[in-house]
Amino acid sequence: MSNIHDEIKEIFFSHEEIVEASKKIAEIIDQDYKDCEKDPVLVCTLKGGLPFSAELIKHINRHIIIDFIDVASYHGGTESTGKLILRKDVTMDLHGRDVIVVEDIVDTGKTIKHILGHLKERGVRSVEVAALVDKPEARLVDVKAKYVGVISPKEFLVGFGLDYAERYRNLPYIGILKEEMYS
């Protein structure tokens, strides 16, 4: 049995850097939503957004509500198929609420654009995106994350929620996967 850390070419974003980025994003969220009457709703994207959501909420110093959404577009490969499937929808009424979608990575932008459109149809007051990783070089549609942890190089990243074929999500850092692991 191999050690999954040996399958990583290099660490791109250490656990300590992820924690610090989460703290900075939380401070900005606290400031941005300080005057809101209702608690903001953080909508965690499953499965990849779960580790970042868990880290981020530890540092937000105001009441929040958490819900989940699962939209898939990769289906096991290294590139988005472009075919989006809503596998799990939010359960609460979002009408008139301020929503922050918490995402592991904004890559092509297709998935997050789909989620934003879906949430707007539900009558949200506002919706923003918090992404641990932003990969603007890969963008195919015009979307922007308001809260970003780090800008990604054009590499295949895994760890801290990011996966390849459902593997590597449990790494405590984000690393660049060795090409031989997916080619």
Which of the residues are catalytic?
107
* Separation between Cα atoms, residue 135 and residue 155, nearest integer Å: 9
Q: Which residues pair with 162 in a beta bridge?
A: 159
Closest CA to 52 of 133, 120, 128: 133
Closest CA to 112 of 96, 98, 95, 129: 129
User: Are 84 and 114 in contact, with CB atoms under 8 Å apart?
Assistant: yes
